[in-house]
Structures are given as structure tokens and as C-alpha cells.
Structure 1
């Protein structure tokens, strides 16, 4: 064997050994699974008491429909795993399974998901939502549709049927359990993640922050029709720069001061637009972990 043949054979053997070692390394990568649920928490399931509201209302939901899916995990190296499942569920009825991803390399993963109206292939939660619900939400572009009643001592009871056109990608979610980014997939075990819906966002009086907000309902209540029902069309009639009570007078709080909603940097002009903007990021990770909104 001459020197050239020996060198060629040596290089070939080295390559084979490297391939063998790489294959063994891949076979030994530690993996784990992720199970994801969606929850409305106490807010959607038990309601919001009057102690939370500046103007003394209490809220009880009878339905809280959410259209959501495309749960995605992304590793630091750029590896992406996505559940294509898209569901329309009623979180007022309780927690529901959302996605299950198996055989992921153990370690930290960024979390994302999408809120969007029902589409072809959207799964309907058995006994919770109907094909008619899905068709209505698809036609109107709603990702959220809520029904319930509002009660205030000395005023009475109102009902509401409100839908909101949201289409947004949530990404880079902070974990509400420990304040870190994303979740950790454990070796040979299961990480449980929860998309948590915070119903109180619907009643915030300022945008762009979760700090210093107050929950209000008087401006919403003032849009009720003669039948006592609050609708998206009624909310759209309430102008943020000219808030009115049910009698058409300037809306004032219990102290006699004008009620003010603060839109921050957002160009919203009606109460319907304000609430829609406010609830875009009401879906959190593991309780209170906020996500970045990517349109």
C-alpha cells in the first residue's frame, strides 16, 4: 500500500468513526414531553366580584369562547416544534387540553401560540360550542365571544353578548411560575404548561400596562339597549373622548369626576376598539406570565 492509499484509507476510517460517534450521541439525547392545557381560571369560571370594580359592578360569565391554537416551542438553537391543533372552546366550563408534544430534547424552550378566529379544521369542544358558534365567530372575525350578566346594587341586572376581533401571535412568553422565559422540558418526564386567560383585561381603563389599571363597567353598561343587553354594536357607539351614561349625560364616577379611559400610544376611538386592544394579551403562560404580541 503506497502512502497515498494509506492516507485515503485513514481519512475514510476517521469519517466513519465520526459518523458512528455522532449517531451514538444523537441516540443518547435526553428527551421529554410537554402537555398544554387552557384555563380561564377563577375569573371566567367563578366571575369577578364587585370589590374588584371601581364602580361597584360584579360580573358572572355564562360562556367564554376562545379560538386558539398553533402552540409552538422553539429551542435556543432554532429547533421548532408546533402542534397544528386549533380549537374553539368554552373556558367558562373548565380547563381543556390544548396540545401535546412528545420526544423533545430536554432543556429550555421558548413558548408561542396564536389567537385567531375559527378556520377550516378548527376543533369544536364537545358539548361546549356549536358549528353555529364557529360560523358566527368566523364571519365576524372574533377570537373571543363572551356572554353573561352584570349586577350592581341599586341599578339592577344587565346581560351581555360581546365579541372581539383578535388575530395575534403570542411569543416569547414569560413563565408565570418562576418569571423565567419559556418552559423547561425535563429529561424522561413531562412538562405541564397552561395558557391562562385573564378575563379582567376586558374591564381595564388603560392600555399598554398592567400596572395602575382600574376595572370599570359603567361605560360598558351605558351602551345597553332597551332590552338590557350589551352588544359589540353598542360598545362601538361609545366614544372614548365623549363617554356618556345611559341618559346621554357626561359619564362621571361616584366622586363626580369624569370617567377617563387612557389609550396610551394606541389609536383607538371607541369603547369596542379599546376593549379589543386590551384583551389582545389577556392570554398568559402559567398564570401571570405575559407574552409579546406579534401581529
Structure 2
């Protein structure tokens, strides 16, 4: 009995000595969203510049694999990651200073999101339309310029977030603050494969969709026009779906890519779960 009591006392001391610290979450669109995706990054020589890149971020959670939750913020906010960043998303104070290896967040089409750094008008539109992601921009190649304005209602939870160089989740420092970046990758919308690690960025097929509509080319590529492009009509070595049977058109394909924009601490990965 005496040894058992000593063991409990020791555990108590370990818990008490771990201390407390803080975690601040930010979001950032990197140069590809803030500035441009240069022609050198595309296989077919296009340059893409975003004017807006709106995301609804919420359900930020710090937990561990044992099911314990250190902190959670469920409310969603709208961020325009085209604006200079990083920008703050949430700060959790006085968390136990230990490794929390299960960090997750969501990009979801909730209808009651508030403003992060986005304009009030954009927040209202995102909520009214039921979008989780909205992008505006232009693509240019030589003397040709195409415009796009696309809204997506995708509902994705990014779980088990990790960075190969830093580790799983986040380690809360004793008496300090750790900053965790939820990184948004705008280049993913133009990949030509849903599964391959060797996917390339292309825009030719997207640009050609402007000629598909009933009214003919007008310089703007709509999601409806992309929905008329059957993937089987494109080169066989491009736009691989990895067997996803529901992805049949270029609109389906880009919508699937939207689910992959959420990353963790730069190039770190999360496991996207579709809801």
C-alpha cells in the first residue's frame, strides 16, 4: 500500500511540474496566393494571380490520441489569405505543457461565420451562398487573359495534422507561446492528378473551357463551363482521378482539389475527411 501511494504522489508531481503554456494559430496563403503563381510553375506556361482567396476556418482543436482535448474553438471565421499574412485565427492560453499530437481544423460551409480579416460584404456572401472557399483571379499566357470567380461548398475536416520536420500536432512550451500556422495552398487548384505526388500544374484545359459555353468565349471561365468538360476528352496522361468514380468533369476535378488546400505549418500534411 505504501508503494502504491508513493506512485500516485509521483504521478501528481509530474503532472504539476509540467506547467502551462499557450498556442496561437495563424493562417497564411504563401506567395502563390499573396503574389502569383509564375509561368515557370505551370507545365503549359500560364501565370495565375489571385485577387481574393476566401476560406471559412473553424473547429480548431488541440487534443491527443488518447481522446483528451486541451482546447477547441468551434466558431468559424472568414479569412482572405490573399491579404498579407500570417493573420491570427485563435489563441489558447494556459494549456498543459506537453505534446498534443492530434491537431485538427475544418474548412466548412457554415452559414453563421464571422469576419476574420475578410470584408463584411464577403462574409455575408460566403454565408448566403453556403460557400467554404471562394477564389477570384486571372490567368495570363502571352496576350490571352482569362478570369475566374469560383465558389465551393466543400465540407472538409483536416485531421491528424503533422509536419515532418516538427512532428505530430503541437508541443505546448512551459511558460511560453507556440505559433502554429494553418497554411493554405492555392497552387493545388491547378494540379493535374488527384493522387500522384508527381502531379503538375496545368491551365490549358481550364482556359479552353471558356470556348465551351453557349455564348462562346467571353474571357471568363465559369464553373458551369468546367462542368461541360468531360475528363475522358482530355489527354490520357492528365487529370488522373485515382479511381474516384464521382469525378467525371473538370468542375468535379477542381472541386476535389479544393479539399486538398489545407496544410499544416508550411508543407506539413493533414488527413482530409469529407463530410
Q: Mark the CA change 1:19 to 1:182 in structure 2 (over 3 Å): closer, same or farther.
A: closer
1:97 equivalent to 2:85? Answer no
Partner of 1:171: 159
Structure-2 separation of matches of 1:46 and 1:64: 12
CA distance in 2, matches of 1:222, 1:134: 31
1:157 matched to 2:149: no
What SS does the aligned partner of 2:161 have?
coil
Partner SS state of residue 227, structure 1: coil
Alignment counterpart, residue 82 of structure 1, candidates 66, 72, 78: 72
Q: Normalising to structure 2: TM-score of the pair? A: 0.87
Which of residues 261, 264, 275 in structure 2 aligns to 1:285?
Answer: 264
Q: Distance in 2 between matches of 1:19 and 1:43?
A: 53
Cα gap change, 1:23 to 1:215, in 2 (>3 Å)? closer
Asked whether the 8 Å contact 1:141–1:166 carries over to 2, the reply is: no
Could you tell me how far apart the structure 1 residues matched to 2:8 and 2:152 are? 54
The residue aligned with 1:191 is: 178
Give 1:34's aligned residue.
23
Matched positions, count: 264
Structure-to-structure mapping, 1:81-230, within 5 angstroms: 81-95=71-85, 96-109=87-100, 110-120=102-112, 122-126=113-117, 128-131=118-121, 133-153=122-142, 155-175=143-163, 178=165, 180-209=167-196, 211-224=197-210, 226-230=217-221
TM (norm. structure 1) is: 0.81
Sort the Cα spacing of 1:227 and 1:259 in 2 relative to 1 into closer, same or farther, 3 A. Answer: farther
1:40 CA drift (Å): 0.3
Structure 1 alignment gaps of length 5 or more: 1-10, 244-256
Match of 1:262 in 2: 240
SS for the counterpart of 1:172 is strand
The root-mean-square deviation of aligned C-alpha atoms, in Å, is: 2.6
Kindly indicate whether the alpha-carbon contact (under 8 Å) linking 2:111 and 2:130 is maintained by their aligned counterparts in 1. Answer: no
Which SS does the other structure have where 1:222 is aligned?
Answer: helix
Counterpart Cα distance in 1 of 2:241 and 2:172? 38
Give the Cα–Cα distance (whole angstroms) in 2 for the partners of residues 112 and 180 of structure 1. Answer: 14
Residue 238 of structure 1: aligned partner: 229
Structure 1 residues 184-232: Cα deviation after superposition (integer angstroms, max 9, x where no partner): 11111111000001111000000123x1111000111112263211121
